[in-house]
């Protein structure tokens, strides 16, 4: 359409299923068009497009009724994904929070038909040139008349050549133990998100098998904000997360249904923290059923996966703390099991390395100092065993202001007095 006022008139008097509004129009600000149409037709999905994507503008767009926000230049696949997401949500609400079973264009059903026509229309708008984007000069409002007959297109074909699992689903791998990293089909996702948005992304990934209620998320991440401000902040964060993955995924990364956000179940997600927990559970069952030797490989795999504490760069997020503390305790318990086993079975150097890893995480584990003292004693390194005792005394005094237990003191005197008998834990 040539101007915003004409666009408003069409939206009011004709059957329209979706609107794309540009911020810059020749006669009226696009935000005014957005606000006016949304107030009259609150269920009509509107995509807002602008040359800039500063936080204030994004908040204003969502506050005035935008279903999605796109920043120019807009890639073809990005626009089409946004349209599909908006139409799915609109049809979902129209059908009383239920969505008919279909997977895309070409099947029976309302959305596939509309979606196929929309793809054809917007390809015509883009000129359907490989890599073509909506340039900054393309300032207009486009609407789709529900009754228009649009020529058949060639169907959607992606320029991406993704790796995938056996079912054709993209693979997302996220490492949370230590320095965080995210890969999609072996390509690293360059995460330039702000701190709060990045934490929200980590929250969604960690809870990828759950549906996360919007109100709970708002309370968790913006507890001191009023509901309107919290929702606006959440909308901005969701938009940034979706935009991050639009460059590497054909599917929509984050979905919304029944007041819940959840990661697209079509994605095959691997988390190092889940692999760590699975190996630990298997090892624990093996220990109970068959003994330590059968569980060694699983314990070692779990220990190898633990590159650092859970999302260690995000120190102050409350939701992370209990998870981080629990995983750390499991890791230290695994190291204790392994170090005890190897100290009893003659691999003293490996047992000592594992003990040092434990002390590095928790310097007040007195039983670990005793194990190190015994390992050095049994390897004929008496002076190192005595130095370990001094380290133990200093750590306990500094951290807890206590002295070693009588068991540790007795062990110290045995080694100091030259006891030559081989010792056990």
In a domain, 388, yes or no: yes
How large is the angle between the packed helices 382-399 and 406-416, nearest 10 degrees? 150
Asked if 175 and 230 sit in the same domain, the reply is yes
Q: Among 235, 255, 271, give the residue marking a domain's end.
A: 271
Asked if 27 and 127 sit in the same domain, the reply is yes
- CATH number, domain containing residue 366: 1.25.40.10
In a domain, 281, yes or no: no
- CATH number, domain containing residue 208: 1.10.10.10
In a domain, 164, yes or no: no
Task: Please give the structure tokens belonging to residue 313.
Answer: 């760069």
In a domain, 287, yes or no: no
Asked if 117 and 35 sit in the same domain, the reply is yes
Q: Among 271, 305, 332, give the residue marking a domain's end.
A: 271
Asked if 223 and 107 sit in the same domain, the reply is no
pLDDT computed for residue 292 by the predictor: 92
pLDDT computed for residue 141 by the predictor: 39
Taking the alpha carbons of 212, 218, 219, 220 in that order, is the dihedral positive or negative?
positive
Asked if 186 and 124 sit in the same domain, the reply is no
Asked if 50 and 103 sit in the same domain, the reply is yes
Sequence-distant (≥ 6) Cβ neighbours of residue 326 within 8 angstroms: none
Asked if 126 and 178 sit in the same domain, the reply is no
pLDDT computed for residue 134 by the predictor: 34
In a domain, 292, yes or no: no
Asked if 48 and 140 sit in the same domain, the reply is yes
Counting the structural domains of the chain, the total is 3
Asked if 177 and 141 sit in the same domain, the reply is no
pLDDT computed for residue 146 by the predictor: 39
Asked if 102 and 52 sit in the same domain, the reply is yes
CA–CA separation, 373 vs 383, rounded Å?
Answer: 10
In a domain, 289, yes or no: no
Q: Among 145, 179, 208, give the residue marking a domain's end.
A: 145
Which residue segment(s) compose the domain that 386 sits in? Answer: 318-416
pTM of the full structure:
0.65
Asked if 195 and 120 sit in the same domain, the reply is no
- CATH number, domain containing residue 45: 3.40.50.2300
In a domain, 156, yes or no: no
Per-residue pLDDT of the chain (425 residues; tens, 9 = 90+): 457 888 888 888 888 888 999 888 888 888 999 999 998 888 899 999 888 777 788 888 888 888 888 887 777 667 777 787 777 766 655 555 444 443 433 334 444 455 455 555 554 444 433 333 333 333 333 343 333 332 333 222 233 333 555 555 678 999 999 999 999 988 899 888 899 999 999 999 999 999 999 999 999 999 999 999 999 999 999 999 999 998 888 888 999 999 999 999 989 999 999 999 999 999 999 999 888 988 999 999 999 999 999 999 888 888 999 999 999 999 999 999 999 999 999 899 999 999 999 999 999 999 999 999 999 999 999 999 999 999 999 999 999 999 999 999 999 999 999 887 888 87
In a domain, 425, yes or no: no
Rg (CA), the chain: 30
CA–CA separation, 150 vs 121, rounded Å?
Answer: 7
pLDDT computed for residue 418 by the predictor: 85
Sequence-distant (≥ 6) Cβ neighbours of residue 157 within 8 angstroms: none
Asked if 190 and 137 sit in the same domain, the reply is no
Task: Please give the structure tokens belonging to residue 165.
Answer: 């699992």
End-to-end CA distance of the chain: give it in Å, rounded: 82
């Amino acid at each position: 359409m040539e101007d915003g006022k004409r666009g408003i008139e069409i939206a009011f008097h004709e059957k329209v299923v979706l609107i794309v509004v540009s911020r810059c129009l020749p006669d009226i600000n696009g935000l005014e068009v957005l606000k006016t149409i949304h107030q009259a037709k609150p269920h009509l999905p509107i995509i807002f497009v602008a040359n800039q994507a500063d936080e204030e503008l994004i908040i204003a767009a969502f506050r005035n009724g935008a279903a999605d926000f796109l920043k120019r230049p807009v890639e073809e696949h990005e626009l089409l994904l946004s349209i599909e997401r908006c139409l799915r949500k609109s049809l979902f609400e129209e059908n009383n929070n239920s969505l008919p079973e279909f997977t895309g264009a070409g099947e029976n059903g309302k959305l596939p038909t509309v979606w196929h026509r929309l793809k054809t229309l917007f390809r015509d708008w883009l000129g359907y040139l490989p890599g073509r984007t909506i340039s900054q000069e393309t300032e207009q409002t486009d609407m789709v008349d529900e009754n228009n007959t649009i020529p058949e297109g060639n169907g959607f074909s992606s320029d991406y050549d993704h790796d995938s699992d056996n079912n054709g689903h993209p693979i997302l791998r996220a490492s949370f133990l230590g320095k965080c990293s995210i890969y999609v089909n072996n390509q690293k996702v360059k995460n330039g998100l702000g701190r709060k948005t990045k934490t929200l992304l980590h929250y969604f990934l960690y809870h990828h098998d759950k549906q996360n209620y919007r109100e709970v998320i708002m309370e968790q991440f913006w507890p001191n904000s009023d509901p309107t401000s919290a929702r606006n902040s959440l909308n901005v964060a969701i938009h940034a997360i979706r935009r991050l993955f639009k460059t590497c995924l054909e599917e929509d990364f984050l979905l919304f249904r029944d007041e819940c956000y959840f990661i697209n179940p079509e994605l095959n997600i691997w988390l190092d923290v889940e692999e760590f927990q699975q190996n630990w559970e298997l090892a624990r069952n093996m220990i109970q059923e068959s003994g330590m030797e059968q569980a060694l490989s699983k314990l070692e795999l779990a220990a190898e996966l633990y590159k650092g504490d859970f999302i260690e760069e995000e120190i102050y997020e409350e939701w992370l703390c209990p998870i981080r503390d629990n995983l750390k305790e499991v890791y230290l318990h695994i190291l204790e099991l392994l170090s005890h086993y190897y100290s009893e079975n003659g691999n003293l150097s490996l047992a000592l390395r594992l003990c040092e890893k434990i002390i590095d995480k928790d310097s007040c584990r007195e039983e670990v100092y005793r194990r190190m003292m015994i390992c050095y004693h049994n390897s004929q390194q008496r002076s190192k065993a005595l130095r370990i005792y001094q380290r133990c005394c200093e750590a306990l005094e500094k951290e807890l202001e206590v002295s070693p237990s009588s068991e540790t003191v007795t062990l110290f005197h045995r080694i100091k007095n030259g006891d030559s008998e081989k010792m056990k834990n």
